[in-house]
Chain A
Amino acid sequence: MDEILRIVTQTLAELIAPTTAAYAIAAIGLNLHFGYTGLLNMGQAGFMLLGAYGFGIATIAGAPFFVALLVALVAGTLFALILGLPTLQLRGDYLAIVTISAAEIIRWVGRSTWLQEWTGGASGLQGRDFKESFHALSPLPDGRTAIGPLEYINTGSDSWWTRIFAWGLVALILLLVWLITRSPWGRVLKGIREDEDAVRALGKNVYSYKMQALVLGGAIGALGGVVYALPLAIAPDAMGRTMTFFAWTVLLLGGAATVFGPVLGAMVFFAAYMLMRTGMRSLTSNTGLGDVITTTNVEQIGGMLVGVTLMLLVIFRPQGILGNKKELAFNVR
């Protein structure tokens, strides 16, 4: 019974975990790219890693919190511009290839000894080096607070303050995305998603709109990277292709081209992922299942099941939980 309670608590905790918020933010950015504009960005982790680096390096260099946040946004923006300028005039698959390789380049440069002085090389940047300015902002008193079964310190890495900030940022970004996608600007993006020549024939500068979407979604991705790094450290190897595919799974699970899809997707995904892993771990150590699957294999099987889920989603429910199937079959530009 205690075991079940522990599993349920851990699952619940994932619903509001800062990492869940970070993925929700990254998926909102991806939603602007893919859901609304039809851009195939296969390197959202690159934007996130750059954002995290921008924030971390700026903070270590002495920048105040909000300046460091701005640096992260600028890093994401520049990355989007560099990737978009040559590829957005080409067919959509070019962007996919360029983004996936560019994200890998960022990761490899980050973990190389070349820029070790700033990036910390393969071991990355330690949390204590860049979190002080963030913790100093916390209005919460010292101590711990328990809400229901969830108990965390008020201010710190894995704290209530991190959660409040992360989800506050999610709410802010959601509001922005809701406002801009219901506007005529959002309508142009949806037009481009379906047929850019038709939009071009109506006198709209398609290249400029695609660039705006790429930059905005990339900058949001960079913010996601900051939120991801806040409770942890900045480790390049934790922010690789797996992260991109998790962000895609989150987006497609929740429903592309919907406002709340990425947030719901992140919550459902991480809760289910946690439930699956803790559940399997518990089963392998307490039942006969342990003879078939050893505890050490649970992570790998979990990752595999995520891949299977992504495939099943794309095949059987491309519109996700919230999406409108009529509106969103796959449109790739």
Chain B
Amino acid sequence: MSADETTTTVPGAAGPLTEDHRRVLRDLSDVERRPGAPKPDAILTMDDVQRRFGGMTAVDVDHLEVQEGTITALIGPNGAGKTTLFNLVTGFDTPNSGRWSFQGRPLAGKGAAAVAKAGMVRTFQLTKALSRLTVLQNMLLASPANPGENLFLSWLPFTWKKHEAEATEKAMEILARFKLDTKAGDFAGSLSGGQRKLLEMARALMTDPTMVMLDEPMAGVNPALVQSLLGHIQALRDEGMTVLFVEHDMHAVRHISDWVVVMAEGRLVAEGPPETVMKDQAVVDAYLGAHHDTDLGDDSLLDPAILARLEAEEENR
């Protein structure tokens, strides 16, 4: 990613389709609309991934492929196993069975650090900005292969000053793009919830990832920031990264994702482009309910009478 690209990206603007994006959409248009459909360029492939907690099967995915260079949304009702699947793939949890490969290399059984080093970096549903480090320190911490992080070199500043200076420059560029550069010296704990989400995403970018896994990036974010967050996620794709994200906000999913994977009760129930998958009867039944077209941000929902009517309809359905 060059400096030019980072400055010309305007967050929040959907903008015209880039050449790469058009190609991605073309590739996806031929993919079958069924769970576990094969993709032309899968960057992440999972097989028979199972995770049981006692008698409960949290994740039971037979096959899933994620197309390279896309924004893929992973949706499903609460308890569908989305975050568990995330934890498994990123090495934060161990499956009872299953295998998966990233860029053709098997990753199952690898620890979280190894997964991140392989180029798959994640963020967390409950943001893990390190609040007692400054914003800049958070960024620098993510810089890969820093010789100063080796104990035996750490006491010799001349061995790592150069890397540190380059990393600082890169960090400030990324922070500027996320409009956090003025906060560089503040403790991350002083940021607002939305800014922490931005910082976590910016920090993930410091590792030069090939795939970014975002666990509910919009959760708890001020609506004013949502637009800009969406813009940033699209920018990741436009720079060639693959994005897989878990999200509950259906507007966000519809707005930015190229492909949607739906989970319910640990299994995949549907796959497809956002426009069609949300009309899939299995999805509607499993998840969205009859009122998925109702804007959940609509003020009229605050009216108890309307709410009661909707609930009654839901029950009689």
Residues of chain A with a CB closer than 8 A to B133's CB: 187, 190-191, 194
**B89 interfacial contact with A, CB 8 Å:** no
List the 8 closest pairs (A to B, CB-CB), nearest first: A203-B116, A184-B148, A185-B154, A183-B154, A198-B128, A179-B155, A200-B112, A203-B117
Indicate which residue in A183, A191, A205, A327 contacts B155 across the interface (CB closer than 8 Å): A183
Give the CA-CA distance A130 to B122 in the complex, in Å.
56
- Closest-by-CB residue of A relative to B159 is A183
Apart from A183-B160, A187-B149, A201-B90, what are 11 other A-B pairs with CB-CB below 8 Å?
A: A176-B155, A180-B151, A184-B148, A190-B130, A201-B128, A202-B204, A203-B144, A205-B111, A206-B113, A326-B189, A328-B132
- Closest-by-CB residue of A relative to B148 is A184
> CB-defined interface of A304-328 with B at 8 Å, one 1/0 digit per residue?
0000000000000000000000111
Residues of chain A with a CB closer than 8 A to B137's CB: 187, 190
- Asked if A188 and B116 make an inter-chain contact with CB atoms under 8 angstroms apart, the answer reads no
**A195 interfacial contact with B, CB 8 Å:** yes
Q: Could you tell me the distance in whole angstroms from the C-beta of B285 to the nearest C-beta in chain A?
A: 35
Residues of chain A with a CB closer than 8 A to B187's CB: 326-327
Residues of chain B with a CB closer than 8 A to A327's CB: 132, 187
- Asked if A185 and B124 make an inter-chain contact with CB atoms under 8 angstroms apart, the answer reads no
**B261 interfacial contact with A, CB 8 Å:** no
> CB-defined interface of B132-174 with A at 8 Å, one 1/0 digit per residue?
1100010011101010111100110100100010000000000
Residues of chain B with a CB closer than 8 A to A198's CB: 124, 128-130
Q: List which A281-333 residues lie within 8 A (CB) of chain B.
A: 326-328, 331
Residues of chain A with a CB closer than 8 A to B117's CB: 203
Q: Could you tell me the distance in whole angstroms from the C-beta of B162 to the nearest C-beta in chain A?
A: 12
Q: How large is the interface on A (under 10, 10 to 19, 20 to 34, 35 or more residues)?
A: 20 to 34
Give the CA-CA distance A68 to B132 in the complex, in Å.
41
- Asked if B141 and A183 make an inter-chain contact with CB atoms under 8 angstroms apart, the answer reads no
- Closest-by-CB residue of A relative to B90 is A201
**Contacts A/B (CB < 8 Å), 25 sampled:** A176-B155, A180-B154, A180-B155, A183-B149, A184-B149, A185-B151, A187-B140, A187-B141, A190-B133, A190-B137, A191-B130, A191-B133, A194-B133, A197-B92, A198-B130, A199-B141, A201-B112, A201-B121, A202-B142, A203-B113, A203-B117, A203-B144, A205-B111, A206-B113, A216-B151
Give the CA-CA distance A199 to B203 in the complex, in Å.
11
Q: List which A242-260 residues lie within 8 A (CB) of chain B.
A: none
Give the CA-CA distance A327 to B132 in the complex, in Å.
5
Q: Could you tell me the distance in whole angstroms from the C-beta of A274 to the nearest C-beta in chain B?
A: 35
- Asked if B121 and A202 make an inter-chain contact with CB atoms under 8 angstroms apart, the answer reads yes
Indicate which residue in A176, A183, A202, A206 contacts B203 across the interface (CB closer than 8 Å): A202
Residues of chain B with a CB closer than 8 A to A190's CB: 130, 132-133, 137
Residues of chain A with a CB closer than 8 A to B164's CB: 184
Q: Could you tell me the distance in whole angstroms from the C-beta of A180 to the nearest C-beta in chain B?
A: 5
- Asked if B149 and A204 make an inter-chain contact with CB atoms under 8 angstroms apart, the answer reads yes
Residues of chain B with a CB closer than 8 A to A193's CB: 132
> In the complex, how many residue pairs between chain A and chain B have their CB atoms under 8 Å apart?
102
**A186 interfacial contact with B, CB 8 Å:** yes
**B207 interfacial contact with A, CB 8 Å:** yes
**A212 interfacial contact with B, CB 8 Å:** yes
Residues of chain B with a CB closer than 8 A to A203's CB: 113-114, 116-117, 121, 144, 207
**B222 interfacial contact with A, CB 8 Å:** no
- Closest-by-CB residue of B relative to A199 is B141
- Asked if A184 and B160 make an inter-chain contact with CB atoms under 8 angstroms apart, the answer reads yes
**B131 interfacial contact with A, CB 8 Å:** yes
> CB-defined interface of A206-226 with B at 8 Å, one 1/0 digit per residue?
100000100010000000000
Give the CA-CA distance A326 to B113 in the complex, in Å.
28
Residues of chain A with a CB closer than 8 A to B122's CB: 201
Give the CA-CA distance A93 to B128 in the complex, in Å.
21
Q: Could you tell me the distance in whole angstroms from the C-beta of A225 to the nearest C-beta in chain B?
A: 22
- Asked if A195 and B160 make an inter-chain contact with CB atoms under 8 angstroms apart, the answer reads no
Give the CA-CA distance A203 to B155 in the complex, in Å.
22
Q: Could you tell me the distance in whole angstroms from the C-beta of A112 to the nearest C-beta in chain B?
A: 36
Q: List which B25-58 residues lie within 8 A (CB) of chain A.
A: none
Residues of chain B with a CB closer than 8 A to A183's CB: 148-149, 154-155, 157, 160
Residues of chain B with a CB closer than 8 A to A201's CB: 90, 92, 112, 116, 121-124, 128
Residues of chain B with a CB closer than 8 A to A184's CB: 140-141, 146, 148-149, 154, 160, 164
Indicate which residue in A180, A187, A202, A331 contacts B116 across the interface (CB closer than 8 Å): A202
Give the CA-CA distance A75 to B112 in the complex, in Å.
32
Given contacts A184-B149, A184-B164, A197-B124, contact A204 B113 (CB under 8 A): yes
Give the CA-CA distance A183 to B124 in the complex, in Å.
27
Residues of chain A with a CB closer than 8 A to B142's CB: 202
Given contacts A184-B160, A202-B121, A204-B149, contact A179 B154 (CB under 8 A): yes
- Closest-by-CB residue of A relative to B147 is A184
Give the CA-CA distance A206 to B132 in the complex, in Å.
18
Given contacts A186-B154, A187-B133, A203-B117, contact A195 B207 (CB under 8 A): no
- Asked if B141 and A191 make an inter-chain contact with CB atoms under 8 angstroms apart, the answer reads yes
Indicate which residue in B111, B113, B144, B148 contacts A185 across the interface (CB closer than 8 Å): B148
- Closest-by-CB residue of B relative to A194 is B130
Give the CA-CA distance A126 to B22 in the complex, in Å.
83
Residues of chain B with a CB closer than 8 A to A186's CB: 154
Indicate which residue in B113, B154, B203 contacts A200 across the interface (CB closer than 8 Å): B113
Residues of chain A with a CB closer than 8 A to B132's CB: 190, 193-194, 326-328, 331
Give the CA-CA distance A195 to B154 in the complex, in Å.
22
